[in-house]
Structure formats: C-alpha cells, structure tokens
Amino acid sequence: MKLTEIKELLDAEVITGANRLEDDFQEVCSADLMSDVLAFATPGTILVTGLTNVQSVITAHVAEVGAIIYIRGKHPEEDAIKLAKQKNLPLLASPLSMFEACGRLYAKGLKSGSNTPK
C-alpha cells in the first residue's frame, strides 16, 4: 500500500518525507518500546508508535524501518524531525489510537512487520 494511501486511511499529517509518498509498504509493526522494535521489527516495515523522542527515529534508522506513524495525535520532538529529514525517513502523525490505526491497516491487508516468538 502506498504511503499516500496510508496517510488518507489514517487521517494523517505528513511531517517529513513528502517526497516518499509513493513508496509501497506491505508490513506494519506497532510498539512503544524501542528494544521490541530492535528485537522484532522486519526491515522495511512501517512503525506505529506513541514514542515521540529522537530514539524513535534512531531506532527506525538502525532497524531499517521504512516509515514512522505517530498515533494518538502525538507529534515527534524537534530533534526527531531534524534527524528524520537527514535520513530521509517519512514521519506521519495520526490522531487515531494505536488500536484504530493498526486495525485500519490490518483491514486493508497489511501484514505483521514483527517477528515475535510464537
């Protein structure tokens, strides 16, 4: 699903990465704990999170997450935005809850971007 469609689906605002709205995503991972992202996220996944500090962007960069969607109307902090611009990482902000955001993405056929142990 293209990022531009995801933006519409989640009523989201694009904070950085407007040049990457045509990028296609197949997987979604949701977490507020960055160690869980580092442990379980698959490369290229979208990350849905409520953690807005710079660590969210560093974690995404290190784990090769393809885009971050901040939920619950939260906006990333300034240093997070600055780093995301440097790394050309798309950041979006949605007013939806984590459940609602993930539910809409799941209903559209996106798959789990999380290799959790069974």
Partner 1 sequence: MEDEVLFFQEFSIMGKDFSNAGTVSTQIKAILKEIGFDPVIVRRAAIAAYEAEMNVVMYADRGVVRLRVTPHKINIELEDEGQGIEDIELAMQEGYSTATPEMREMGFGAGMGLPNIKRNSDEFEITSERGKGTRLNIVINAR
- 72, with CB counted inside 10 A (0-12, 13-18, 19+), is middle
CB neighbourhood size of 22 (10 A) = 8
Count residues near partner 1 (CB under 8 A): 20
Q: How far is the CB of 40 from partner 1 (least distance, A)?
A: 9
Q: Which residues pair with 30 in a beta bridge?
A: 48
- 26, with CB counted inside 10 A (0-12, 13-18, 19+), is middle
Of 16, 30, 45, 59, the residue at the interface with partner 1 (CB under 8 A) is: 59
Both tokens assigned to 40: 């379980």
Q: Quick one: which segment of 13-21, 22-30, 32-40, 66-74 binds partner 1 (CB under 8 A)?
A: 32-40
Nearer to partner 1, 4 or 77 (CB): 77
Q: Which of residues 65-104 bind partner 1 (CB under 8 A)?
A: 79
Q: Which residues bind partner 1 (CB under 8 A)?
A: 32-36, 38-39, 43, 51, 53-56, 58-59, 61-64, 79
